[in-house]
Structure 1
Amino acid sequence: MHVFVSFIHLVSAGAGLVSAIPGPSRATQLNERAESCTFTDAAKAIESKTSCSTITLKNIEVPGGETLDLTNLNDDTRVVFEGETTFGYAEWSGPLVSISGTGITVEGAPDSVLNGDGSRWWDGQGSNGGVTKPKFFYAHHLDSSSITGITIKNSPVHVFSIQAKDLMLANITVDNSDGDTQGGHNTDAFDVGESSGITIVGANVKNQDDCLAVNSGENIVFTSGTCSGGHGLSIGSVGGRDDNTVKNVTISDSSVSDSQNGIRIKTVYNATGSVSDITYSNIQLSGITKYGIVIEQDYENGSPTGEPTNGIPITGLAIDEVTGMVEDDATKIYILCGEGSCSDWTWKDVNISGGKASDECENVPEGVSC
């Protein structure tokens, strides 16, 4: 931002007088930003991102191996995606898009789509091997902000990585359904970590991994969501990170269909941390192929040890009105807690049909049936 100082030289009889007139105020300078800029070129949008109060990205093509970098935006900037945003191919970790700032409004125009064309990377291994795949969207340090009405299609791997304070994500569509038959894997829709005040409302997700995974953070809400094809609504895995505390999470009024799990809480074997004050309410299940409700304290990156540990207690868990069905060869409820590490649980109106009961549950809290 330029600072202008004007000097007026006044010469009077017998003396020279120099007077400085201060430049425009900060408010005036901010008003000098263009109100609205439309970009069709990614590089120009990145270069000029602090020059516009509204940034419209129209049919942007982002080169392979590069990020659509809209970090450190001016306060209260509005970002609008129009048309189809596409990304070139490169084997790298991403992200494809990164946005940060305070008071930022991110919107998807009607019929717009951010198309990752993930099949170019999909090999059935996700982030566990094969080609290196880029994560899609970093919402890191995107504080007191909102992301509304955007559609993401065919992410190469994880979709949203959220590390923010007071962020609302509303009416987001994640459609990775092509990955069901083309090798999509680890396509988590919303990974939340080191965050507070996150609200996700009205999400519509079709993917091959967690619809929601809260790895750390507090005061997090997921409501009115539809999840299909993935691994369910998850807390964790918790443990083994810099921040291993999850507190005050409410997941409500949502459905999980045609997925491995419905509700899942997973803490890492031999790790430390805490999970507390978690509520699942009014969750409808259908077509669940593995577990309707699964809570386990033996997690090791997809290969549970079968031996729970108690370094990450799960306390204050409320499950209320979880209903629906699991497939015939699935398990309705599986609970594997460490000794004394699961307590103060309340379950009400849990009614899951189909499948089978587990005979391998351990350390089930009082008042809870497995």
Structure 2
Amino acid sequence: MVSSLLLMHWSTTAYSLENIDYSSAFGNEILGEGTTTTAFDVMDYGAAGNGQTDDSQAFNKAWKDVCGASTNQEVATLQVPPGKTFLLGPVAFQGPCMANTIHFQLQGTLIAPQSTSWAGDALDTWIQFSGIHNLIFDGDGKIDGQGSFWWQSCKKKTIFGTFWSCQHRPRALHFHNCNGLRLEGLTHLNSPRSHISINACQDVSISNLNIIAPEDSPNTDGIDISASSNVNIQDSRIGTGDDCVAINGGSSFINITGVDCGPGHGISIGSLGDGAYDTVQDVHVKNCNLKNTQNGVRIKTFQDASGFATNISFEHIGFDNVRNPIIIDQFYQDKSKNSKEILKAAVIEVSHVTYSDIHGTSASDRAIDLSCDDVVGCSNIVMHNINITSAVPGQNVYGFCNNTRGTATSIQPEVSCLF
């Protein structure tokens, strides 16, 4: 039970929304003009904001009031003020909530503890939101996972040569079953593992994010999407030690537009499979630029799996010194796990993939690599208006393909099996 003293800190404020577009990515209005919102400031719940005191309890108390507030089906806002740094241990913000829309307004900085001891073996998330529909998480604040302590664990092998401590690192920010989610304007730094994870969410809009981690930070994906649909990512800058965006199994109708990626491992479909049935469909990547990345646009599937990846397009893509600009890899292996002694034929079918208006430079001589498996292969692969040259003056590039069926027009380098 929240004390009456805490309840006295509630305040109702009419916020001006003239310069903020809170319409959802798919046209459903979330906040209308003149919306009145009930605001809860974490400082009123005992948060210190000094970057040293654990403020987890204050955030949990504030969240209880935010989620339980009755605001005539309008908006309840949790405010994290500017100019302060809030140290948080693992926190879970759970719904459902009373208000039609929950607004988490981050203007300060959230930081994780500078230690790997707080998580324990079973915990895989630092900050989690679950079961909260029409959640808006925005502001000009920062989320700093302080992952360098965790990354060191990836350099320590057990006696058997596996990376157990490395595998138990937490992701920074996880959303589960949050339909109508909006993420906008935030800066995400140095997650121990992936920065943002989206799972089992529908109608999601992500825009104007800045996600940053060192190039050698392991598995620090920018945005991971799984089991989600109608996700729109746009106008964001992502530079990490792994995939800028990874689209995993059970995802459909994903649009990625205006993303600058690098460093990192590129924009990836997958990995798919790993002994499971996986599907991805209707993914469209457009108007994106990749610079100094290990891969460009990639589809990766494990062997000994089942499912499909279909109706995928990569259009208007620019490469600058990208090591593997265009790649389909149906022989993918996770190097952080023990390899299978016997690799079976892949049965995840890759089909109806279009590459169009793609230009730039490759850091390796193999600019196009379509490594499809020997049994199922890849079908209906379409390439048009592609021009990739070497980033090294005077060096040639080439295209490679295996068991790939489709068409190619106006492409350089040529891919012989598509003609």
- TM-score norm. by structure 2 comes to 0.73
In structure 1, the residue matched to 2:104 is: 79
* Match of residue 198 from structure 2: 162
Distance 1:306 1:286, change over 3 A: farther
How many angstroms does 1:306 deviate by? Answer: 12
The alpha carbon displacement at 1:175 in A equals 1.0
Residue aligned with 1:122, SS: helix
Q: Which protein is bigger by CA-based radius of gyration?
A: 1
| Shift, 1:203, TM fit | 1.5
Q: Distance in 2 between matches of 1:252 and 1:38?
A: 39
Counterpart secondary structure, 1:47:
helix
In the TM superposition, what is the alpha-carbon distance from 1:99 to its structure 2 partner? 1.8
- Equivalent residue in structure 2 for 1:115, among 117, 133, 144: 144
Change over 3 Å in CA distance of 1:35–1:133 after alignment to 2: same
Shift of 1:310: 4.0
Query: Is the 1:145–1:167 Cα contact (8 Å) retained in structure 2?
Result: yes
Match of 1:197 among 230, 255, 261: 230
2:326 aligned to 293, 296, 299, which one? Answer: 293
How many pairs were matched up?
Answer: 331
User: In the alignment, what sits opposite 2:60?
Assistant: 46
1:101-126 CA distances to partner (integer Å, 9 max, x unpaired)?
A: 11111112x3x211112212222738
What amino acid sits opposite 2:403 in the alignment?
N
Q: Equivalent residues in 2 for 1:52-91 (5 A)?
A: 52=66, 53-58=76-81, 59=84, 61-64=86-89, 66-67=90-91, 69=93, 71-74=95-98, 75-88=100-113, 89-91=115-117
* Deviation of 1:300 (Å): 1.8
**Displacement after TM superposition at 1:72 (Å):** 3.8
Moved over 6 A (4+): 303-308
Structure 1 gaps of 5+ residues are 2-32
> 2:220 aligns to what?
187
SS in 2 for 1:254: strand
TM-score by length of 1: 0.82
The answer as to whether partners of 1:135 and 1:159 remain within 8 angstroms in 2 is yes
What is the aligned partner in structure 2 of residue 172 from structure 1? 209
How far does residue 70 in structure 1 lie from its aligned partner after superposition? 5.0
Question: C-alpha offsets along residues 302-341 of structure 1, whole Å, 9 cap, x if unaligned?
Answer: 47999783411111101111110012x4420111112343
Consecutive unaligned residues in structure 2, runs of 5 or more? 2-35, 48-55, 67-75, 156-161, 409-413
Is the counterpart of residue 98 in structure 1 residue 128 in structure 2? yes
Tell me what 1:258 maps to.
292
Amino acid at match of 1:51: D
Work out the percentage of aligned pairs sharing the same amino acid.
Answer: 22
Question: Is the Cα–Cα contact under 8 Å of residues 240 and 272 in structure 1 kept in the other structure?
Answer: no
Query: Structure 1 residue 184: deviation in Å?
Result: 1.1
Which stretch of the first structure deviates more once superposed, 113-122 or 313-322? 113-122
Distance 2:106 2:94 in 1: 12
CA contact (8 A) 1:266 1:299 kept: yes
1:282 equivalent in alignment to 2:285: no
Amino acid aligned to 2:236: A
2:64 paired with 1:35: no
Whether the 8 Å CA contact 1:308–1:336 is kept in 2: the answer is no
Which residue, 397, 405, 408 being the options, matches 1:365?
A: 405
1:223 matched residue in structure 2: 257
Aligned-partner Cα distance in 1 for 2:177–2:229: 11
